[in-house]
Structure 1
C-alpha cells in the first residue's frame, strides 16, 4: 500500500531521530535472515540497533543481528549520502508495489547504497521478472537518478570515465 505524504514525512523524521552517525552501521547496506526463512532481507543501517527496512514495510525497526553486505565498498556511497538518498528514495518509491521477484528490498537497498537496483536472489529468473540478466530492475535507476538531479544533484553518482578505447 502506498505511503501518503504525511507518512513519508513521518518516516523521514524517524530516520533523522534514530540515525547515529557514530555507529559503524550508519548508512551501510545490511542484510539478515529471519528464522525459518530462506531469503535474505535488506535494509539501510541507521544505528547500532535500528535498520530502515527497504522492503514492504518502508520503515525503521530494531534489529541488532545483521551483516554488512560484502563486496560493495568500492561502489558504495559515503554513509551520510546513503542516508540522504534513503530519504529521497521514499518520495520516489513509496508507491511502488513490492513483490519478491520484481521489486523488493534488495533492489531498493542496493539502489540507495550503490546506485545499482540489483537483486541477486531473483536474478536466476530475470526473464520472468522483467529484469536485466544481471538482476537489475530496468527503470528504477533512471527514475531515481532523474529525480535526484532535480532535488539534490549532489546525491547522483558521477559516471566514471572509461579509460578503454572501447567505451
Structure 2
C-alpha cells in the first residue's frame, strides 16, 4: 500500500454515496473526479468496505471506458477520429499535439501530469469536424496550427 494515499477522501465519498454494492459506479466516478484516475490502492480498500470482491470492483473499473487506471493530466485533450473528423484530417491534429508535447501512441500523458492526449471514436459533433475537446469543452474546425495555439494558451494558464 502507498502510505501517502489518503483514504479519508474515499471514506467521505462512501459516506456521501452509501456503503453499498449498488453505489460502486458512483463511488468510482467520484474517486476518479478527485484524483483524475483510479489509484490501485482503492481496490482492496473498497472491496473490504463494500463487502465485495476486489475483482468485481476492478471489473467495473475496466469495463467502462471513462474510468482510467493511469494518472491523467490536468488537461485531458480528446481528439475525435470518427469518420467525419478523420475524413477532415483529424490525424495531423493528433500528430501535432503529440509532437508538441513529446507524446506518442503509447505515451498519452506528459511527465508533469499537465496534458493527456487521447483519441476517441466520436465526440458527437460531426458537423463541426474536425473536433477536439479539452476537459469536455468542444473546440470545432480544428487544424494542426489551431491545436498548437490552443496548447500554448493552456500552457500560459499554468
Normalising by the residue count of structure 1, what TM-score does the alignment of the two structures yield?
0.25
Normalising by the residue count of structure 2, what TM-score does the alignment of the two structures yield?
0.26
